[in-house]
Structure 1
Amino acid sequence: MSSIMVTVFTAWGYEVSLLELISVITSTVGVILGVFGVRITWPWWVASSILYAIFFFQVNLIASALLQFVFVAAGIWGWFGWGPKGAIPAKLKNNEKLIWLAILLVSWIALAPTLAKIGAAATWPDSFVLVGSTVAQVLMVLEKYEAWPLWFVVDAVATWHYGRQGYWFTSLLYGLFVLIAIAGWVRWFQRAETNVKK
């Protein structure tokens, strides 16, 4: 384990481990592929999630670590759900949007105190990243374009959260994810509109 935690380089006083570097690379590839809705995105998500689970457990971000197991399960589900042709984006109905929003808010409010009790490093932002990412991931597997605006919000919070914790390289990654989420939002919205007209 110590060989993957070895420092590969230092940037502005922050030591980037081999584990974090590989996690960032695999995550970036997976998210970019997700914008294009190609099925091969899912193995990249699974690989990066396993790596990030190890990283987050080591730095005591418990909810972020647990989230990675949700991503692994969603990666397997997404692989079979999307099929060989990849995603066919569609929109949620208004009542479905309200249901997903309620699930997100209730779960976030319920989870944060639990994380505090087990001694997690940052309960409210960590629980929001966990719950928001879980909902966004499920929406992505279900091929709903609303996954991307939610990813935008979650990634913005994660950028701030990981930066505040001092994990600058991962914070930078989530800043990049904010930009990628905008691209995914636009692309999937356009494809959803096209699919409605067919």
Structure 2
Amino acid sequence: MNWLNSEAFVAFDQHILWSDMIGNILGLITLALGWRRSLWTWPVQFLSGLILFGAFFGHLTGSAGKQVVVMVVALYGWWQWNRDKGRAEDGHIVPRFATWTERAAMVGAAAAGTVGVALLFKAYPSLSWDPWPDAYIFVGTIVAMYAQARGMVEFWFAWLLVDLVGVPLNFANGYAFSGFVYVIYGALVLWGMRDWWLRSRKAARPTLEGAPA
């Protein structure tokens, strides 16, 4: 399997690795499946995380750790979406907006988690050469995927915030394909965010219309 971390091609003076390319192509497929609210988003997400873990391991500790989280939460998302009782007639998940309590909990967890993980990375420099961005990506990914597993529209916002740091970090560390793909992610995330937002309003409308005056 050493070929996965070998060079696939060179573009714009950037050396593109097979693992970086394949993992991120699977990531794009995952995003498309997530946009369609398909259960298959989780197995593909798990495979993408596995391949990207191999790409980042030993170079970008926070990004490698992020992929471990991706794989664990992918298993949780598969379980959660399988047991969800509020599926649409097409069998897909029905998105919803988080409550203010859920939003506050996620923001608080993201802030506290980022500080805690960054301090851990600073205490053990071998874990990360750039503790704060690594910690931000690591924790932000947990929050985003948790929100996705719970069917919350806010997961799209969380992914955008992670990408704002992830894109320049990938370019700076030679993972150009990841950087280019995350630029595409940004456009698709905005599209997916709009779709989930419209669907969440549509799902809520019958309840509102059926409420007693």
2:71 aligned residue: 72
The yes-or-no answer on 1:111 pairing with 2:110 is: no
2:197 aligned residue: 189
**Structure 2: how far apart are the matches of 1:155 and 1:87?**
24
TM-score (norm 1): 0.93
Higher Rg of the two aligned structures: 2
**Identity, % of aligned pairs?**
22
1:136 aligned residue: 144
1:34 aligned residue: 34
1:98 aligned residue: 104
Deviation >3 Å, runs of 4+: none
Deviations 1:122-168, CA, capped at 9 Å, x for gaps: 21111111111110100000000011111111112211221222321
Give the drift of 1:3.
2.0
TM-score (norm 2): 0.87
Identify which of 150, 159, 168 aligns with 1:151: 159
Deviations 1:157-188, CA, capped at 9 Å, x for gaps: 21122122232111111111111211121111
Give the drift of 1:58.
3.3
Number of matched residues?
197
Identify which of 174, 186, 189 aligns with 1:178: 186
**Structure 1: how far apart are the matches of 2:118 and 2:36?**
34
Root-mean-square deviation (Å): 1.5
AA at the equivalent of 1:188:
W
User: 5+ residue gaps in structure 1?
Assistant: none
Residues 90 and 145 in structure 1, CA contact (< 8 A), matched pair in contact too? yes
Residues 156 and 178 in structure 1, CA contact (< 8 A), matched pair in contact too? no
Residues 156 and 174 in structure 1, CA contact (< 8 A), matched pair in contact too? no
2:211 aligned residue: none
